[in-house]
Chains A and B, each alone.
Chain A
C-alpha cells in the first residue's frame, strides 16, 4: 500500500491564450500509488509554490468523474491510459517507477488554450443552445406518465444522455470532430417521444452550429468512442447521420 513512485513530468506551460507555450520538465519523487492523477498534480503545485514558481493551471471540480471539468492528454491519450475513466478517476498505480509522463491540453482549434492545461470549451455550450433541448416552458408539462417511454428506449436514451461534455472525443479525434458529443444529445432526444416534435430541426441546427464552430468531420475512426469516459457509442453517430439524412430530405427547409 505504501509503494511510491519517482516520476519525470513533461507539462505543457502556456501563460495565456496569446502566449507562446512550451513543455517544462519537472521531477517528482515519493508519489504514492494510491494518489489520483490530479492529487499528483496538486503535489507538484505545492512543490512549485514552495519554490516560488507559478503552479500549473488545470481544470477540475467534482473529482469523481461526473462534472466533465477535468481532462488532459496523458502520454498521448485523453484522460490517460484507462478506458471509461476521467483524469480525476485515474490513479497513480497505473504508472511505473521512473516513468516519464507527458501532459498536454486538449488540442483543437475550437478549444483554444486559456492557460497551461486549461482550454475553453464554450463551443459545446453554443452547440447545445442551437438545439440540444426540448422546447417546453415551465408549467406546460403533462403528467409524467401521460407519455409512455418503453423501458428499452429509456435505456438507450440514458446511454446517450450519460455524456459529461468533457471534450475527450474532440481531443482524441484526428480531425477534432465533435460528432460523438453532438450525436449523444441528438440521439437522446430522437429516441424519447418528448424530443420527437423537434427532431428534424434539432439535428440540422446542431450540425450547422457544430460546423460554424470549426470542428472537423467524422471519418469513422472511432477513437472518440475509445476515449469517452462515459462510454458513449459511435452508434449514436450513425443515428445522427440517419436523423440528418431524414431531416434533409423530408422536413420543411429551415
Chain B
C-alpha cells in the first residue's frame, strides 16, 4: 500500500482526497438537510425521526466516526496544501490583477475557500456544542427534539452565527462542488458547464436550506 500513500501524498493526490472527502461531506449535508426538513412537516415527524436515529446507537457511532474522519482529512489537507502553496510563492507581487476577462460564476470565490472554511468549522463546532454536547447555557432538561431545536434557533446569537455559517457554507460549496470534479479529472468540456451550474444550484440549495431554519424559528 506504500504506492497508494505515496500517490495520495503528492499535490495531485492530496487534491483527490480533498475532493472525495468534500463530495462525501456534501452527501452528508444532503441527508442532514433532508432530516431537518421534517421540522417543517410537524413536530411529531421530527421527533420520531430524531428518536429513531438515536436508537441506532452502534450505527450512529460508526457514522459519527466516519464523518469525523472525513472532516479531519479535509481540514488537515486544507492546512497542508495552504502551507505548501504559501511556500511556493515566497515573495508576493507589489500589484496583482486577474486576467480572467469574464469571471465565471464560481471563479473568484476560489480565493475564499480557506476563510469560508474557517467560518464553516466554527459553525460546526458551535452546532455540535448546541445540539450534541448540549454545552451552551440553555435549559435542555426534558425537552423533546423539536422544542429543543426551536429553543436553540430562536436565540439571537445562534440566529446570527448560524446565518453566517450557512452563507459561508454556500460560498464554500459554490466553488468546492465543481472544483472537486475538476480535481478528480471529471470536468470534461462536455459536462463542465453543467457541473458548474449544478454546483451553484446545489450550494444555493444547501445554504438557503440550512439558513431557512433560523428564519423559520424566528416566526415560531
- A153 an interface residue at 8 Å Cβ cutoff? no
CA of A108 to CA of B11 in the docked complex: distance in angstroms? 17
Given contacts A207-B12, A223-B99, A241-B15, contact A217 B111 (CB under 8 A): no
Output the least CB separation between A163 and chain B (Å): 17
Does A240 interact with chain B (Cβ within 8 Å)? yes
Nearest-neighbor residue (CB-CB) of A204 within chain B: B7
Closest B residue by C-beta to A219: B110
> In the bound complex, do residue B107 and residue A216 qualify as a contact, i.e. CB atoms below 8 Å apart?
no
Nearest B residue to A221 via CB reads B110
Q: Are A176 and B101 in contact (CB under 8 A)?
A: no
Residue A175 is within 8 A (CB to CB) of chain B in the complex: yes
Q: Which of A46-54, A74-82, A138-146 contacts B (4 or more CB under 8 A)?
A: A74-82
Chain A residues within 8 Å of chain B by Cβ, number: 51
- Asked whether, in the complex, the Cβ of A245 is within 8 Å of the Cβ of B185, the reply is yes
Q: Which of B81-89, B133-141, B151-159, B166-174 contacts A (4 or more CB under 8 A)?
A: B81-89
Given A109-B88, A218-B15, A241:B183 Cβ within 8 A? yes
CA A215 – CA B189 in complex, angstroms? 26
Alpha-carbon distance A237/B15, docked complex (angstroms): 12
Interface residues of A in 23-82 (CB under 8 A from B): 23, 73, 75-78, 81
Chain A neighbourhood of B57, CB < 8 A: none
Q: Which residues does chain B contribute within 8 Å of A81, judged by CB atoms?
A: 99
Set of chain B residues within 8 Å of A204, measured between Cβ atoms: 7
Partner of A239, one of B89, B91, B97, B185: B185
Q: Are B110 and A76 in contact (CB under 8 A)?
A: no
Considering only residues 103-155 of chain A, those with a C-beta below 8 Å from chain B are: 104, 107-110
Q: A76-B96, A226-B98, A238-B186 are known contacts. Are A220 and B175 too (CB-CB below 8 A)?
A: yes
Write the chain B residue with the least CB distance to A80: B99
Q: Is the CB of B88 within 8 A of A23?
A: no
Known: A234-B182, A240-B185. A214 touches B87 (CB 8 A): yes
* Residue contacts A-B, CB under 8 angstroms, 22 given: A76-B96, A102-B94, A102-B95, A104-B93, A175-B84, A176-B89, A177-B11, A215-B88, A216-B89, A217-B11, A218-B183, A220-B175, A220-B183, A221-B111, A223-B100, A237-B182, A240-B12, A241-B183, A241-B184, A241-B185, A244-B12, A248-B7
The chain B residues found within 8 Å of chain A, CB to CB, are 2-4, 7-8, 10-16, 81, 84-85, 87-101, 104, 107, 110-111, 113, 175, 178-179, 182-189, 192
